[in-house]
Amino acid sequence: MKKLFVSLFLALSFLRSSADEGMWLPLLLGEQVYNDMVKRGLKLSKEQLYSMNKASIKDAIIIFGGFCTGEIVSNEGLIFTNHHCGYDAIASASTVLNNYLKDGFYAKSKSEEIPSAGLYAEFLLKIEDVTAEVEAQAGTLTGTDRINKVNEAIAAINKKYSDESKHIIARVSSLFKGNQFLVFVYQRYSDIRLAGAPSESVGKFGGDTDNWEWPRHTGDFSIFRVYMSKDGQPANYSPENVPLKPKYFLPVSIKGFKDGDYAMIYGYPGSTNRYETSYGVKQKVDTDNPTLVKLRDMRLKFMFEEMKKDPAVKLQLASSYASIANYWKFYDGESKQLVRYKIFDQKKATENSFQQWANGKPEFESLFKDWEKAYAQWQPYSKHRVYINEGIMGSPLLAYAASLQSLENAMVKSGNSSDINKALAGASEARAGFLKNFNKISDQNIIGQVLQMYYNDVDKNQHPIGFFENIKATTGDLREDGTFKKFAAALVSGTMILDEAKWKAFTEHPDAVTLQKDPAFATASAFLKNWTGKYVTQFQQFSSKNAELGRLYLKGIMQKDPVKAKKMYPDATFTMRVSFGNVKSYQPRDAVKYDYVTTMSGILEKYVPGDYEFDLPQNVLEVARKKDFGQYMDPIKKDLVVGFITTNDITGGNSGSPVLDANGNLIGLCFDGNYEAIGHKIAFDKDLNRTICLDVRYLLWCIDKVGGASNLIKELKLVK
Ligand code: ARG
């Protein structure tokens, strides 16, 4: 009986599916957290996780391009990251004839690797606590004064720790909402080359339908290599450069794993706001998210219409489309989950209990009253702000036109010819970049629709004075769609930005009036100037108040519960974190259980020939149908495992992060979060949160059996 009881208990605790909140700073991994990791199965010492003196796992983890994570997997600087992280580089390397995005690409030798301008890898050299230094500067200042002083102190520290000649870049990160400051020192390598990518129908399999969802079958990987100069230093691209010799690289395990096994993720989570207030939640759900989603919906529709028609346009717009779509679905889902799980009420309850503690403590007593007031003052303008960022600036043409304000300033305010020439050269260079990926029809449609939506949706008292009256006078009735379409058509055909001859004439004889009369510039600047002139100060005041109150709130929380404070992790700030948990199945809703892995059989089930999202390339189909999985086959599932889920805590920026087993071997790449817990930036769901990962064995199978690039496989240290 007792034995039965014990084994029942073990079975139950094994089935326990709760997620593992926490994005820990490897530098400050307290004994408690480390012990928890060991209890969960970790077999490594603290020194092996993070060390200042010896090579450790942290040395294999890179910031990829400034927006993703990557990991070094060979002694010759080979990088694994996600397909959606390499997407822009892959699309840029592609032409309609050599379409690597569509057909995939595997370099059979280093000489075939493709330089990817603009990409870089940053290695973390060290982390130091500089809180005392910053606090000494800030003293007892509050509000904007404090923010300015803190920023000054941070700039000085960054400068002190950076060394341009060695490509060393330091960035202070403000943690716990400004209660702690750490400086992160990186070394940047800028010669990055594309070494491999699957066909997009593998790398983005399931498209936006499957994005943010489990069960998932996406082969979301791409492969790059980092190069250094012959004398071992970071360097810009040169054919003379040689592959980087890393301090450490990750061994790759093809042994497989089971439900419940330990999983650890290193990487660069971008941002979370787990201490968001009830006011913030309300504003997001009521105003900010729905406005963003509505505007993105519209932009995506017009872009997609043109992408469908022409493969060249598809290549031009694909990367920007993917990133707009990604957070369109995210914010839509976030609102829904915040409502469904009553996060507003939960936050209110936490705030009420904080208030009880704060009563009688002058520093904290009026915190929430002040917060309520700050939100009430800002609320009337918040929709307008989304319209500027996601609407007006959501048109590539208007966004480029808006950037010409610095040229206008040089002409009107400075008038100095060297300033003007510099601004003009910058504008022409930016214009060339802008035109490369510009599609006229979709943008004209976007401009017409954005102006109409703004007119109907933004408080009339906040409109730029005279702008819509002018459309009415020159173009037609503002209640009619046709008026806005006509206005947009005239804008696009009349702007010198899209007319080589006119642009040339302007750059030869630049004058402010010509610029100011340009319809694209005039439109962009009417909205921008109205916004910056009248409302930006409100936003800045709100932001600094919000930051100040946030800092106090966190300070209060840590005072209120000092024991818990010892085991608190800071919100994500795009700094290196480690999270731990387990591979784990879950129950998304009543009567439904999601398995911990997906397989090749599932890919074939989802396959729809010719579909935009669920098509597959012929070579993948052939090898898959033959079940030629070789050493990559999973011993439990007797199939090729494609994806898996873990209980780890990650967010955007972690894309491409390595998933490691208890011994620190690479078992996968994390690439997404699940829909049921998509409110994770604001509220981590202890039951439902899962990280969606690509099994490294599927990645290797693609390189080896589909791509035939055994040269890449040979570089790896496989653990069998
Ligand atoms: N949701 C993924 C992330 O944020 C990106 C996936 C990109 N795929 C796509 N269909 N847009 O990391």
- Ligand 1 centroid – CA 672 distance (Å): 7
Asked whether 211 lines ligand 1 (CB < 6 A), one says yes
CA 638-643-647 angle, 5° bins: 115
10 Å Cβ neighbour count for 209? 12
Mean pLDDT of 223-244: 97
pLDDT at 17: 52
List, in sequence order, the alpha helices (H) in 251-360: 278-283, 289-309, 311-340, 343-358
Q: Calculate how far, in angstroms, residue 382's C-alpha sits from the geometric centre of ligand 1.
A: 27
pLDDT band at 576 (very low <50, low <70, confident <90, very high): very high
Is 546 touching ligand 1 by the criterion CB < 6 Å? no
Q: Could you tell me if the CB of 212 is within 6 A of ligand 1?
A: yes
Architecture of domain 577-719: Beta Barrel (2.40)
Query: What six digits make up the tokens of 237?
Result: 């691209």
Q: Which of 81, 82, 84 most suits a substitution to test ligand 1, by most atoms within 8 Å of the C-beta?
A: 84
**Digit-coded pLDDT (tens) for 301-322:** 999 999 999 999 999 999 999 9
Average pLDDT, stretch 528-551? Answer: 96
Tell me the two tokens of residue 386: 């989304």
Nearest atom within ligand 1 for CA of residue 671:
12
Query: Taking all residues of the chain, what is their mean pLDDT, rounded to a whole number?
Result: 95
Residue 327 Cα to ligand 1 middle (Å) = 8
Residue 10, pLDDT above cutoff 80: no
The minimum-distance atom of ligand 1 relative to the CA of 655 is 12
Pocket flag, ligand 1, residue 205 (CB < 6 Å): no
Q: Residue range 149-176: average pLDDT? A: 98
Q: How far apart are CA 214 and CA 607, in angstroms?
A: 16
Nearest CA to ligand 1 atom 3: 672
* Cβ of residue 392 lying under 6 Å from some atom of ligand 1: no
Percent of the chain whose predicted confidence (pLDDT) is above 90:
94
pTM of the entire structure? 0.95
Active site positions, annotated: 84, 220, 655
Q: How far apart are the CA of 262 and the centre of ligand 1, in A?
A: 25
Determine the atom of ligand 1 nearest the C-alpha atom of 212: 1
Integer Cα distance of 667 and 54 in angstroms: 23
Domain ranges for the chain, please list them: 123-185, 395-534, 577-719
d(CA 655, CA 132): 33
Task: Indicate the pairing of strand 666-673 with strand 658-660.
Answer: antiparallel
Q: What is the pLDDT of residue 414?
A: 78
Ligand 1 pocket check for 216: Cβ under 6 Å = no
Number of neighbours of residue 584 by Cβ within 10 angstroms: 25
Residues 251-294: tens digit of each pLDDT:
999 999 999 999 999 999 999 999 999 999 999 999 999 999 99
Residue with tokens 């017009």: 302
Residue whose Cα lies nearest atom 2 of ligand 1: it is: 672
| Tens digits of residue pLDDT in 630-651 | 999 999 999 999 999 999 999 9
pLDDT tens, residue by residue, 598-614: 999 999 999 999 999 99
Q: How far apart are CA 646 and CA 696, in angstroms?
A: 14
Residue 2: what pLDDT? Answer: 42
Nearest CA to ligand 1 atom 8: 211
* Matching residue, tokens 């599916």: 17
Q: Please compute Rg for the chain using Cα positions.
A: 27
Peptide bond into 215 cis (omega under 30): yes
CA distances from 33 to 24, 286, 579 (A): 8, 38, 10
Residue 84 Cβ < 6 Å to ligand 1 = yes
> What distance in Å separates the CA atoms of residue 12 and residue 484, rounded to the nearest whole number?
62
Helices 311-340 and 343-358, axial angle in degrees (round to 10): 50
